[in-house]
Structure 1
Amino acid sequence: MEGIDDPVLAMVTLGCAFTELDDLPTRDDRTRLLVETRRRWRLGEEEADEMLSLARWLVAQCGSGQAAMGRVGRRLARIDDGTAWRDLQPFLQTLGEGQLSGTRQEALDDLQRKLTRAARA
């Protein structure tokens, strides 16, 4: 994950991993991820598709959504300019459709600790 130097790619990868935490993502989950990625970062369809393809590959390289949350979250904390949590939190909340499972809430809390600590440092 050390090769990730784009905070947006890291956040989109975390979004992919987040959708895989409880089960394999449904078609609706994938559509929501694409729509939110395009909307939040003002990407064209082709650019968003490419970023999501790379993000899914990165999650697969980690072995699971849970492992990707930890590894990519740590990487984002290192490259963050202090704004990542402000952008990431509503993105993940939207992907979770408001109701977060215990696993997703724990992942969100862990990311908040990592990213707000990095912003204070």
Structure 2
Amino acid sequence: MTEQEINRAIQYVTASTSYGRDTVAGIVKTGLGELADFATHSSQRFDRSILLEYVCQWTMKRTGQPEPLVREILGCAGRWLDEVYEELDRQKAEPQGDTSTDDEGAEPV
């Protein structure tokens, strides 16, 4: 994920919860960072619930934040990621229409 995408996730979670941006940013960056590191270095596939459990436990230890807070924030960030992926899937599924027009190359009036 790019820094811009992470910031959009942080904005989404901050707007969807009652937590401050700094708290949300710390948890989201820690959780997504570990998830990205895990994805890069692991060749094994895991069920989503098991992976979420691991990332939640890791994030709680790293940030010192309580479990309900971490689970809510990472759950909300997960919903944001799901929406992003669903949108990308829809865009990929849409046929690429011909973008040319009949007036292409015509002189302006």
Instruction: Give the structure-1-normalised TM-score.
Output: 0.38
| Relative contact order higher in (CA < 8 Å, ≥ 6 apart) | 1
Bigger Rg over Cα:
2
In terms of fraction of residues, the more helix-rich structure is: 1
TM-score, normalised on structure 2? 0.41
